[in-house]
Amino acid sequence: MKISRIFLLLIPALLTGLAIWLKTPSSSFDKNAISETAKTYDARIIRDNWGVAHIFGKTDPDTSFGLGYSHAEDDWETIQETIMTSRGISSQYLGRKKNLVGLEAPVQDYLFDLFKVKEAVESKIDTEVSPPARAMAKAYADGLNLWAIENPDRVLPGILPMTDIDVISGYTWATPFFFRMDEELKLIFAEGEAPPVGPYQSSEYSDGAVLGSNAFAIAPRRSEDGHTRLVVNSHQPFVGPYAWFEAHVVSEDGLNLAGGGFPGTPILAQGVTPTHGWAHTVNKPDLTDMYKLETNKDKNPTQYRLDGKWVDFEVSKSKFRIKLFGPFSFPYSRDMLWSQHGPVLETDSGHYAIRFAGLQEVGALDQWYAMSKADTPEEWQSVLSKNGVLSFNIVYADKDGNIGSLYNARMPKRKVGPKWRGVLPGDDSSLIWDSYHPITDLPQLHNPETGWVFSANSSPFFITDDGANNLRENYPESFGIEARMTNRARRSLALFSADEAISAEELLTYRADGQYQEGVHIRQMQEDLTDLNFDDERLNLAKDLILNWDGSTEIDNRNAGIAILTRMNSSGFELKDDRMPLDQALEKASGEMMSVFGRLDPKWGEVNRLRRGTVDLPLRGGPDTLRAIYGDFENFVENKGLVASAGDTHIMVADWDENGKLTLQTIHQFGAATLDETSPHYADQAVLFAEEKFKNMPMTLDEVLPLATRDYRPGQ
């Protein structure tokens, strides 16, 4: 009886203790301190008639402060989740849900800890991030903090205050996943004795409907009027952490950059200044190696073999909290292993170590910042030599008629001889690289006689007319340089190489070309269908529509819809885990077409749509055309067509005349207000985008003021 009473008395105490243990820790911040810090900046934000933020400041950090504030105004929820990931605490807020990049939150938090992002940033921020770049990161965070205290109902507990550590950790963490490290990690957990060859080097990927970007530079010798032109045409998701935010920053320190940035980045990653501009496109060098480790599982499982000896793993703990309900979360802890190769993952087929050139790297901010202020070709080359940006092709042009392209990469210096594809033995320390090639070792062209260069996520050995390209045999196999030729690359070569004097109008026409070249992936499907016959007459009609398709994606084309949907159902974009046989893909596409449109051959413009709020517009172009539009084919019936979700987004067309004077035109797929549906700028650029038109981008205060719709100084 006494035991029962004692137990009953203990229950409240036990429950109280459990509640305390499960209660998510809170943090405090000084609102007044944030306000006082904001007063140390002088940022003037002028929103033009399109809602674009033009930020003027006395110093460069002033503009970064304004950039953070204006970005928070337009995309706070995305930035807030980016801050969660930059601290490795997504699970505390999301539970087991997926985050914005598609990783389950606990997986993201564990990998954040496993990759030692926080430790790397804290140890390197004083030595590998310059004081000016760090000041930009701090100013951006201070701008976010100011907006957050002014809008407390939008801010989750524990987010404030944001710091320069958060900002730098954000892009340090994001770098591997921009490079698609998630796909590499999937291989480690694939069934079988060992992971297969990397997906981006597989033959299936060599000529697919590649998600990517375009960039073009035309020198005076190749333009009809002697102008220099640059097209910045990155292909990104329409919304989310990798969607472009358009802005313009100007300081008395010499910064004057119009361009695009991502949520959480304190400098615009690509853009145009009055003197020069650059564009990025994604490349896929081999920057990752996987090693199979032999562990001492019988005697000491925390050891692995290296050079004939048993070596201890570095063992530590990943600790984070997983949201349960309300203010409660579960404390989670799991061992982490590191070898001399790098972080280690344990799978059913054994232990694998990862060595990645972009792991724990913090130099990108310094390089992008310097790129925005490099006024001469000599300064530009000096900045590129920093090698702080992990990868990305870089296409450049300036007011003096110089153009160039670099296959940029933080390329490991690997031992000559071994086959670096696939899984490497983990017991040989000579396979652990620890240094990088200078950029002079990488494929590049500067001021080629042909007068033009381009990039379209394809081989860097075919980026201008024949005879002027770099040669594949001059670069080591260990670089892993991709051999693929996208449709966009093939079309670029076909269009530009045939034109000896490219006019401004022709450049825009070529940039927006919506044709699939003979022989590319989707046109090859026509040949693959030739020998297929069906008992279902509807499928034979669908087959005939595809066989008679000319590869066009014009709005009125009635064959493109069934052809593109069949191809997407079969192969998807880039990588699709469950590739569908062609006959099944045709059957599925036919059924979906009939379900939505009641016919197999609706006009392409009826199928391919831009939707934003109340805006619903037809689009030309398609996957891997130069007018790149990627629709959500997996939800075709639910969405009643292909709703554009990625591809052409923020586009810039820079034109320097014979005197070096800049005219700049830009467009954004929706508008400046990324998430605010009540804003007049939520979809005000959508019509221009659908019609493939541009708006003028003013570059000086005098040009901006007549267009002003808001003029304000946050914190003052």
Distances (CA, A) of 315 to 87, 306, 341, 434: 21, 17, 14, 22
How many structural domains are present in the chain? 2
Pairing of strands 270-272, 314-325: unpaired
CA 510/CA 496 separation, integer angstroms: 8
Q: Are the C-beta atoms of residues 622 and 629 closer than 8 Å to each other?
A: yes
Q: What is the pLDDT of residues 500-533, one digit of tens each?
A: 999 999 999 999 999 999 989 899 999 999 989 8
492 and 546 inside one domain: no
pLDDT at 257: 98
Pairing of strands 53-57, 245-251: parallel
Is the per-residue pLDDT at 572 higher than 90?
Answer: no
pLDDT tier, 143 (very low <50, low <70, confident <90, very high otherwise) = very high
Q: By C-alpha distance, which of 525, 620, 643, 650 is closest to 580?
A: 525
584 and 658 inside one domain: yes
Phi, psi of 622 (to 5 degrees): -170, -170
360 Rama class: left (phi>0) / alpha (psi -120 to 50) / beta: left
Those residues whose C-beta lies under 8 Å from the C-beta of residue 188, and which sit 6 or more positions away, are 195, 290, 345, 347, 352, 354
532 and 465 inside one domain: no
For the beta carbon of residue 702, count every other beta carbon within 10 angstroms. 8
Determine, yes or no, domain membership for 46. no
- Residue 632, domain CATH: 1.10.1400
Sheet holding 423-425, edge to edge: 314-325, 328-338, 343-347, 350-356, 288-293, 423-425
Q: Which of 487, 511, 535 is the last residue of a domain?
A: 511
The Cα angle at residue 265 between residues 261 and 270, in degrees rounded to 5: 35
Sheet holding 295-296, edge to edge: 295-296, 300-306, 309-312
pTM: 0.93
646 and 525 inside one domain: yes
Query: What average pLDDT does this structure show over 424-440?
Result: 96
CA 459/CA 579 separation, integer angstroms: 25
424 and 489 inside one domain: yes
CA 572/CA 590 separation, integer angstroms: 16
pLDDT at 81: 93
Q: By C-alpha distance, which of 224, 255, 232, 217 is closest to 400?
A: 217
Is the per-residue pLDDT at 564 higher than 50?
Answer: yes
| One-letter amino acid for residue 292 of the chain | K
Determine, yes or no, domain membership for 251. yes
Q: What is the pLDDT of residues 213-243, one digit of tens each?
A: 999 999 999 999 999 999 999 999 999 888 9
For the beta carbon of residue 297, count every other beta carbon within 10 angstroms. 12
Query: What average pLDDT does this structure show over 568-584?
Result: 77
Higher pLDDT, 598 or 100: 598
- 306, containing H or E segment: strand 300-306
Instruction: Find residue 215's DSSP bridge partners.
Output: 232, 455
Q: Are the C-beta atoms of residues 453 and 320 closer than 8 Å to each other?
A: no
CA 105/CA 641 separation, integer angstroms: 31
Q: Which of 477, 511, 545 is the last residue of a domain?
A: 511
Is the per-residue pLDDT at 173 higher than 90?
Answer: no
- Residue 229, domain CATH: 3.60.20.10
591 and 491 inside one domain: no
pLDDT at 201: 40
Determine, yes or no, domain membership for 685. yes
Query: What average pLDDT does this structure show over 154-181?
Result: 87
Query: What does DSSP assign to residue 203?
Result: G
Residue corresponding to tokens 């899984």 = 423
pLDDT at 195: 45
- 85, containing H or E segment: helix 60-87
Is the per-residue pLDDT at 196 higher than 50?
Answer: no
Q: Provide the token pair at 216.
A: 């073009």
pLDDT at 203: 36
Q: By C-alpha distance, which of 425, 46, 451 is closest to 218?
A: 451
Q: Is 22 helix (H, G, I), strand (E, B) or coil?
A: helix
Q: Which of 511, 531, 564 is the last residue of a domain?
A: 511
The residue range of the domain holding 650 is 521-700
Is the per-residue pLDDT at 620 higher than 90?
Answer: yes
627 and 559 inside one domain: yes
CA 146/CA 527 separation, integer angstroms: 60
- Secondary-structure breakdown of the chain: helix, strand, coil percentages, each rounded to the nearest 5: 35, 25, 40
Cis before residue 161, ω within 30 degrees of 0?
A: yes
pLDDT at 2: 64
Q: What is the pLDDT of residues 628-676, one digit of tens each?
A: 999 999 999 999 999 999 999 999 999 999 999 999 999 999 998 878 8
pLDDT at 4: 66
498 and 614 inside one domain: no
CA 499/CA 184 separation, integer angstroms: 41
Determine, yes or no, domain membership for 322. no
Is the per-residue pLDDT at 102 higher than 90?
Answer: no
Determine, yes or no, domain membership for 624. yes
Determine, yes or no, domain membership for 335. no
pLDDT at 571: 83
pLDDT at 242: 87
Is the per-residue pLDDT at 179 higher than 80?
Answer: no
Query: What does DSSP assign to residue 317?
Result: E
Pairing of strands 608-612, 642-656: parallel
Higher pLDDT, 1 or 494: 494
Q: Are the C-beta atoms of residues 44 and 37 closer than 8 Å to each other?
A: no
pLDDT tier, 326 (very low <50, low <70, confident <90, very high otherwise) = confident
614 and 641 inside one domain: yes
Determine, yes or no, domain membership for 82. no
Determine, yes or no, domain membership for 310. no
CA 658/CA 709 separation, integer angstroms: 33
Q: Is 688 helix (H, G, I), strand (E, B) or coil?
A: helix
Packing angle, helices 364-371 and 377-384, rounded to 10: 170
- 400, containing H or E segment: none
Please, how many CA atoms are within 13 Å of residue 342, restricted to the half-sphere of its CB?
A: 22
Q: What is the pLDDT of residues 28-87, one digit of tens each?
A: 889 999 999 999 999 999 999 999 999 999 999 999 999 999 999 999 999 999 999 999
CA 712/CA 366 separation, integer angstroms: 29
597 and 651 inside one domain: yes
477 and 592 inside one domain: no
- Return the C-alpha torsion angle 342, 347, 349, 352, nearest 10: 0
Query: What average pLDDT does this structure show over 292-311?
Result: 94
List strand residue ranges (DSSP E) for 191-244, in order.
214-218, 228-237
Is the per-residue pLDDT at 193 higher than 90?
Answer: no
Q: Provide the token pair at 255.
A: 């910064």
Mean pLDDT over each residue of the chain, to the nearest integer:
91
528 and 493 inside one domain: no
Query: What average pLDDT does this structure show over 416-427?
Result: 91
